[in-house]
């Protein structure tokens, strides 16, 4: 898949230069015989392109951009996460200093070798647009060389592309606000440098249209991870409706997921470590348990990355590298028990580590690493009090959700990892449903907000709550307990209008004052449009977000 993705992006580039009249260039012998005009002639070609499109979401958690998890921009600088190992690529969002969070910040703007997140998302959109438009060709052979997957291959291909396009636009508008909307294939005849920023409401409408089509055309449950299921479209529709204040509509989409018998919350031990001490909550994160075909009934969307999934391509797992601290700097050996080698890019805030009950499985030693044994046999305990958020980086309490290393002991210290990852889980749906119900004043313990929260809490041995406990802040607290490091927290807080308030309240790094410059400002809830985008749009002066 990874190689196919590269070919697909190259094909799109070739389309942009088709208008060139340089005969010598056009006569040059190509190194690859794959072009858009000969790829999109049959179902098999569209299947390759559809699989390649999956590479773009996987980049969010991979090492392929800026040597780190580019998705950290939606996690750090919030109430639940900060950058332990602060780099120039993360300082702006970690501290919210106005000298670092700027339009030229590398993770947004890119550099000579990396495009930056803004362009990656538009590469996704351009690729999806190409699939959607080319699928309209009546001459396409949709039979292909393999047995039929369902009654409408064409609709499923288009639905898949529209779902990924909606995913990309959602990231864009929740990060940058108004952005250019384009749903047509870019080729040599319609290339533009005069893009306008379209209103968020218009882009939300397009996201809804795309997701509704995907919901109607994707399978109920595709255990093949290269085929996305309709529950993913329903999940994002509910997320959109909650953002728009359409709480009843959100409830209906979420109920469609929780009543889908293909999916179930994991409440019993299963899989590769089921005979060892542990808890059901953590079983779904162990390598060998993550795929639906391996017994994971809670996974709605999975990214395949293990070292055995060579046919699907691989991306190095930035989640392990990012969230496991550099414990080995304290004379501690690399061990599978410690998840292999991490580089400590991100950490859980002291506040987020303080909101669990002691008996909560999500706070147990199976879920959080709180100590290590060094090479002398001494036990070194982690100290994650707020005052140590900068000085105790090597021994910071960390999640064990992303523990993974190679079977070969000689590779336990390798920089990279290839563990499969669940991207969306059913418990997330339960908590979104609780939010939709709460916002309709339905908080009871009998099918109200408290009921769905308690399903998540009792699975992890936490004390059930009453209806009177439910508030929006409580739901956000529960999301932190359940989805820590998984959730794109910045987007959740932005959607609920809580980003500034909760970040200032619970993240002393983001709310600190350094060299006379205060922490997070109200305008920084949206990030700046990358400077390279503004400069390249020479036909029209694109407006920057206020404050930058």
pTM comes to 0.92
Q: Which residue has the tokens 């029209």?
A: 540
DSSP-derived 3-state class of residue 280: helix
In the structure encoding, which two tokens stand for residue 308, read together?
């055995």
- Tell me the pairing of strands 398-399 and 368-369: antiparallel
For residue 325, how far is the Cα from the chain centroid? 21
Task: State the pLDDT at residue 149.
Answer: 45
* pLDDT one-digit tens code per residue, 394-429: 899 999 999 999 999 999 999 888 889 999 999 999
Residues across the chain: 548
Instruction: Answer whether 179's CB lies under 8 Å from 543's CB.
Output: no
Phi-psi region for residue 288, left (φ > 0), alpha (ψ -120 to 50) or beta? left
User: What is the end-to-end Cα distance of the chain in Å, rounded?
Assistant: 38
* pLDDT one-digit tens code per residue, 173-199: 999 999 999 999 988 788 889 999 999
Partner residues linked to 421 by β-bridges: 303
Q: What angle do CA 52, 13, 537 make, to 5 degrees?
A: 115
Task: State the pLDDT at residue 307.
Answer: 63
For residue 443, how far is the Cα from the chain centroid? 29
**Residue 251: how many CB atoms within 10 A of its CB?**
21
Task: State the pLDDT at residue 151.
Answer: 47
Instruction: Answer whether 469's CB lies under 8 Å from 450's CB.
Output: yes
pLDDT surpasses 50 at 27:
no
Q: Which residue has the tokens 């196919």?
A: 4
When mean pLDDT is compared across 149-153, 165-169, 204-208, 263-267, the lowest value belongs to 149-153
Q: Classify residue 408 by burial, with Cβ atoms within 10 Å: 0-12, 13-18, 19+.
A: exposed
When mean pLDDT is compared across 3-7, 34-38, 174-178, 191-195, the lowest value belongs to 3-7
**Nearest partner of 105 among 534, 523, 532, 538, judged by Cα:** 532
Exposure class string for 77-93: b at 16+ Cβ within 10 A, else e? bbbbbbbbbbeebbbbb
Phi-psi region for residue 379, left (φ > 0), alpha (ψ -120 to 50) or beta? beta
Phi-psi region for residue 377, left (φ > 0), alpha (ψ -120 to 50) or beta? left
pLDDT surpasses 50 at 21:
no
The mean pLDDT of 484-490, rounded to a whole number, is 97
The mean pLDDT of 128-140, rounded to a whole number, is 93
pLDDT surpasses 50 at 10:
no
Task: State the pLDDT at residue 22.
Answer: 40
DSSP-derived 3-state class of residue 82: strand
In the structure encoding, which two tokens stand for residue 449, read together?
């907000």
What is the rounded CA–CA span in Å between residue 415 and residue 417? 7
In the structure encoding, which two tokens stand for residue 242, read together?
């909650």
What is the rounded CA–CA span in Å between residue 339 and residue 317? 12
Output the CA–CA distances (angstroms, integers) from residue 353 to 62, 75, 100, 348, in the order listed.
25, 15, 28, 7
**Residue 134: how many CB atoms within 10 A of its CB?**
20
What is the rounded CA–CA span in Å between residue 102 and residue 92? 8
pLDDT surpasses 90 at 386:
no
DSSP string, 433-448: HHHHHHTTT---TTTS
- The mean predicted confidence, pLDDT, of the chain is 89
Task: State the pLDDT at residue 208.
Answer: 98
How much of the chain is in helix, strand and coil states, percent to nearest 5? 45, 5, 50
Cβ within 8 Å of residue 201, ≥6 positions away = none
DSSP-derived 3-state class of residue 271: helix
């Amino acid at each position: 898949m990874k190689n196919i993705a590269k070919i697909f992006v190259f094909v799109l580039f070739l389309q942009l230069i088709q208008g060139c009249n340089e005969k010598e260039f056009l006569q040059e012998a190509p190194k690859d015989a794959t072009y858009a005009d000969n790829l999109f002639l049959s179902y098999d070609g569209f299947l390759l392109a559809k699989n390649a499109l999956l590479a773009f979401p996987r980049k969010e958690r991979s090492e392929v951009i800026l040597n780190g998890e580019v998705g950290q921009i939606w996690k750090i600088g919030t109430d639940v996460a900060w950058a332990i190992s602060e780099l120039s690529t993360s300082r702006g969002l970690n501290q919210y200093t106005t000298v670092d969070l700027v339009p030229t910040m590398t993770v947004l703007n890119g550099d000579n070798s990396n495009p930056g997140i803004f362009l990656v998302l538009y590469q996704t959109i351009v690729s999806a647009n190409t699939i959607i438009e080319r699928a309209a060709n009546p001459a396409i052979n949709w039979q292909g060389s393999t047995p039929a997957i369902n009654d409408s291959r064409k609709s499923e291909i288009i639905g898949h592309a529209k779902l990924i396009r909606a995913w990309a636009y959602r990231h864009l508008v929740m990060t940058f606000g108004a952005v250019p909307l384009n749903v047509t294939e870019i080729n040599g005849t319609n290339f533009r440098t005069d893009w306008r920023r379209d209103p968020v409401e218009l882009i939300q409408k397009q996201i809804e249209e795309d997701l509704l089509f995907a919901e109607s055309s994707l399978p109920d449950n595709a255990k093949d991870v290269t085929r996305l299921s309709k529950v993913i479209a329903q999940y994002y529709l509910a997320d959109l409706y909650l953002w728009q204040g359409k709480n009843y509509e959100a409830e209906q989409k979420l109920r469609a997921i929780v009543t889908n018998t293909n999916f179930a919350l994991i409440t019993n031990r299963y899989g590769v470590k089921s005979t060892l001490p542990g808890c059901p909550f953590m079983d779904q994160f162990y390598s060998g348990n993550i795929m639906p075909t391996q017994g994971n009934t809670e996974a709605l969307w999975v990214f395949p990355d293990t070292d055995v999934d060579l046919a699907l391509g691989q991306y190095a797992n930035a989640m392990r590298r990012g969230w496991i601290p550099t414990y080995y700097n304290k004379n501690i050996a690399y061990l599978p028990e410690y998840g292999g080698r991490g580089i400590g890019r991100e950490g859980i805030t002291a506040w987020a580590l303080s909101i669990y009950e002691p008996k909560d499985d999500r706070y147990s030693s199976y879920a959080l690493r709180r100590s290590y044994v060094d090479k002398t046999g001494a036990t070194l305990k982690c100290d994650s009090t707020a005052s140590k958020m900068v000085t105790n980086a090597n021994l910071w309490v960390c999640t064990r959700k992303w523990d993974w290393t190679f079977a070969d002991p000689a590779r336990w210290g390798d920089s990279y990892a290839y563990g499969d990852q669940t991207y969306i889980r059913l418990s997330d749906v339960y908590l979104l449903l609780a939010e939709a119900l709460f916002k309709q004043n339905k908080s009871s313990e009998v099918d109200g907000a408290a009921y769905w929260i308690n399903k998540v809490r009792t699975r992890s041995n936490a004390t059930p709550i009453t209806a009177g406990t439910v508030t929006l802040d409580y739901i956000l607290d529960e999301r932190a307990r359940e989805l820590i490091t998984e959730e794109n927290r910045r987007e959740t807080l932005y959607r609920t209008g809580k980003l500034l308030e909760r970040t200032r309240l619970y993240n002393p790094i983001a709310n600190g004052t350094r060299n006379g410059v205060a922490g997070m400002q109200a305008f920084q809830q949206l990030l700046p449009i990358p400077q390279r985008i503004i400069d390249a749009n020479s036909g029209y002066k694109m407006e920057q977000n206020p404050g930058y």
